Chains A and B, each alone.
Chain A
Amino acid sequence: MTQEAGQRMLMAGNNAIARGAYEAGVYFASGYPGTPSTEILEVISQYSEIKAQWAANEKVAFDEAMGVAMSGKRALCSMKYVGLNVAADSFMVFPFAGTVGGFVVISADDPGMYSSQNEQDNRYFARLAQIPMIEPSDPQEAKDYLKLAYELSEKFSTPVLFRTSMRVSHSKGMVILGERHEVVESKSFVKDVPNWVVPIFAKALKAKLDAKLAAISAYVETYEYNRIEKGKGKIGVITSGASYTYTKEILPEASVLKLAVTYPLPKQMILDFCARYDKVYIIEELDSFIEDQVRAWGVTNLSGKDIFPRTGEFSPDVLAKCLFDEQPVNDFSKEFNIISRPPQLCAGCPHRGAYLALKKSGAIVTGDIGCYTLGALPPLGAMHTSFAMGTSVGNAFGFELGGINKVAAVIGDATFIHGGIPSLIDVVYNGGNTTVVILDNSTTGMTGHQEHPATGQTLQGKEAPKLDLVNLVKALGVKHVQVADPFDQKAMLQAINEALANEGPSVVITNRPCIFSRGEKHRPKTPFVIDLGICTQCGACQRIGCPAVLPGEQATIDDVSCTGCSLCAQACKFDAIHLKGE
């Protein structure tokens, strides 16, 4: 990768953030994979100047980066917005002490919930923690603003929240590269118990935090990156982030106050701006975060959530509809039967085998976050709840405590490490009978195959001590632990049934890697074929929900995508499905 200062390059927002970290002289970066944030750390890992590592979860990532920052170096941690819920415990307390080296926390929000479990507006986190927040609107700003975030962080000795959205993180645009500036450490950690031991000195530190926020508020009043683009006419717009780009398309003539720092807001600047125009639109995705504050200052010539939606992603079409009642062109679904194309577990996915067995067992299945969440959809329909990372285990124990028996939790290997372990300890400690099925596919699948402690490799692909899940759960006190092959339906069902029948906690760990993992990807595969002379068209093979079993009255197997897992052959009662060539 040739990347020289001054070069003009097409970059995605996440790549530009990584470049910004490089140019800002960041020393350490940590994070946990999560769409739409994952690429930030992956790209950072390509810069040898930055120590970068995947953490077990977002709070661990935050705590490590926080330690590096306290030691006086520039640190970054990166996560999807729900990751900040996990890291919130430390995130809320660290500002009381402040930082030594620059410290930036990246939250990648997902308005529209393209690949997320909920929609939440993480701008509130900056206000909640009383720290400044910066929002870029395109890749160039993503790179440049990250450097600004470090300057702000060090100027005020505060963590800074860097908030992007899916459309900023996953859009490409032209970026002009800069040079890396190594940060000459002027300060490092000094023992100062009244500053760093927050719980004992919290009262005094809270007063300091309030004063710091007031100082930052005063500073941003004249911050040059909160800029006014003067237009024509009597309409003003206050906006930031991706919404700014839509505003420029739909209201090219309007005067725009484009905010780089969206917390704290430049109060006087906004009051002056609003006084200059007949009508001011506040164009912000998700909640009325800016609008509520401006209204509280007594401004009334505003329009915001009275016309713009509070949910979903904005777009030029959304703005045109809300502002001018210009209807977008409807899709053709009213005139043509556009059948849907739902995402599915891949052909050859080992999770399918686990779900087919779970379905036969008749258990209620509490689920978790990963590719395997797709097991809830028909025709598998074998997962019955799913909420957040690691939730399945506690939920299964809860069902049991609530009087429902025959419950199993399913959780992926990465997710179990992220948030399932304390819950399993709790099952053992409190005498539960809970069954946990760890769908170990030896990777973080959903986000694009990242390493984790049980894969035996680091972010950079270097060898690392491999966490042994079997011995781990045994050490937690689980006595009934079985490893089962999800492609052997008889064995898998037996393992699940035995675990469900077991008195006391039980764990079943599946042992087939993701078909896209190292080793699996290039393994030669022999596909299966259906013997049309024997096939009775009963449809059993189609009900396993494999994309390689092509739908139709007569099922056929696509020999390009079939990986030879044999689950369709095991589903066939008539022995009509065989390995090709046999």
Chain B
Amino acid sequence: MSNVTNVLLCGVGGQGVLLASEVLALVAAEEKAQVKQTEVHGVAQRGGSVVSHLRFGDLVYSPTVRTGTGDILVAFERLEAVRYGHYLKPGGLMLINDIEVMPGQMGEYQPYPTGIIEFLQSKAFQIEEIPATALAKAQGNSKVGSLIILGALSSYLDLSQEAWERVIRKRIPPKLVDINLQAFKVGVEMAQARAQAAVDRAE
């Protein structure tokens, strides 16, 4: 079952993690024999931590990803990247939206931890921080950040751009399709520019 791709998406309830994972699952469903996706509903949505597992390939049984086997972890928020980092395989790719969402407090005040990126780098993951929320605000709609993240993610997956566009057109309300497609493109271009820069550096 080596041809199965394991992706995790995580973030904070309300950030659009579940919509993004639905879009990714639908795109994979257009091009792959099997797709499984799972998440936890219910109480976790009230501002809590959210994680979605997604697996696609020729033959997929379990919907959940084993720890240490994820190919890509997409974190919509920094702290959540650490929370679910152990699902990623050594050398796996972490796409991290570079924002910090302060957790609600229960009892003694706990400041937001510092040094997240440095810690994750010490784990020998491939880390790509992306300013998706800032780019979304620059686009004039803070809610399209998840599509910018998906655009960046798409550059690392062998799923066609046509399939992404078809699904976005189908899944997003007609009024919002254009702005979301635009956001998706911003993400694609950012990832491509980075890849080019990496190639240039290597040369």
What residues of chain A have their CB less than 8 Å away from a CB belonging to chain B?
Answer: 8-10, 35-36, 114-115, 138, 166-167, 170-174, 244-246, 248-249, 252, 315-317, 320, 328-332, 335-346, 371, 374, 377-379, 446-448, 542, 545, 547, 550-552, 560
Contacts and interface: CB of A to CB of B under 8 A. Distances in A.
Contacts of A339: 79, 103, 110, 112-113
A542 B104 CA distance: 10
A87 B164 CA distance: 45
B96 interface: no
Interface string B69-112: 00000000001101111110000000000000011111101111
Nearest to B28: A10
A9 B68 CA distance: 30
Interface stretch (B32-40, B152-160, B181-189, B190-198): B32-40
B155 to A, nearest CB: 23
B141 interface: no
Contacts of B38: 167, 170-172
B108 to A, nearest CB: 9
A340 B102 CA distance: 10
A524 to B, nearest CB: 17
Contacts of B103: 339-342
B26 A10 contact: yes
Given A335-B119, A379-B106, A551-B102, A343 B41 contact: no
A330 B86 contact: yes
10 contacts: A10-B26, A171-B38, A172-B25, A173-B35, A244-B61, A315-B62, A315-B66, A341-B47, A341-B79, A547-B47
Interface residues of B, number: 54
B48 A332 contact: no
Interface centre among B37, B49, B106 (most CB of A within 10 A): B106
Contact of A336 (B62, B82, B102): B82
Contacts of A346: 46-47
A8 B32 CA distance: 12
Contact of A10 (B35, B83, B105): B35
B12 interface: yes
B36 A173 contact: yes
Contacts of A35: 41-42
A320 B66 contact: yes
Interface of A is mostly: loop
A444 to B, nearest CB: 13
Given A341-B49, A343-B48, A344-B46, A115 B63 contact: no
Given A328-B66, A337-B113, A379 B42 contact: no
A542 B26 CA distance: 41
Interface string B107-150: 10111110010010001000000000000000000100000000
Given A171-B36, A560-B142, 16 more contacts: A167-B38, A245-B61, A246-B61, A249-B1, A329-B68, A331-B83, A336-B82, A336-B116, A337-B113, A338-B82, A339-B110, A378-B106, A542-B105, A551-B102, A552-B102, A552-B111
B62 A245 contact: yes
Nearest to A137: B61
A142 B102 CA distance: 39
A170 B40 contact: yes
A328 to B, nearest CB: 4
A545 B104 CA distance: 8
A317 B44 contact: no
Nearest to A35: B42
B47 A114 contact: no
A172 B35 contact: yes
Contacts of B119: 332, 335-336
B68 A338 contact: no
Nearest to B88: A329
Contacts of B161: none
The 5 closest A-B pairs by CB, nearest first: A115-B42, A329-B68, A343-B46, A343-B48, A329-B67
Interface centre among A9, A35, A249 (most CB of B within 10 A): A249
Nearest to B68: A329
Contact of A249 (B35, B61, B110): B61
A379 to B, nearest CB: 7
A248 B61 contact: yes
A10 B47 CA distance: 27
A172 to B, nearest CB: 4
Given A170-B41, A248-B61, A342-B104, A328 B47 contact: no
A321 to B, nearest CB: 10
Nearest to A373: B43
Given A172-B36, A338-B113, A344-B46, A246 B62 contact: yes
A283 to B, nearest CB: 12
B113 A336 contact: yes
Contacts of A249: 1, 61-62, 66
B104 to A, nearest CB: 4
Nearest to A371: B46
B29 interface: yes
A374 B106 CA distance: 11
A224 to B, nearest CB: 21
Given A339-B79, A341-B79, A36 B107 contact: no
Contacts of A374: 43, 46
B43 to A, nearest CB: 5
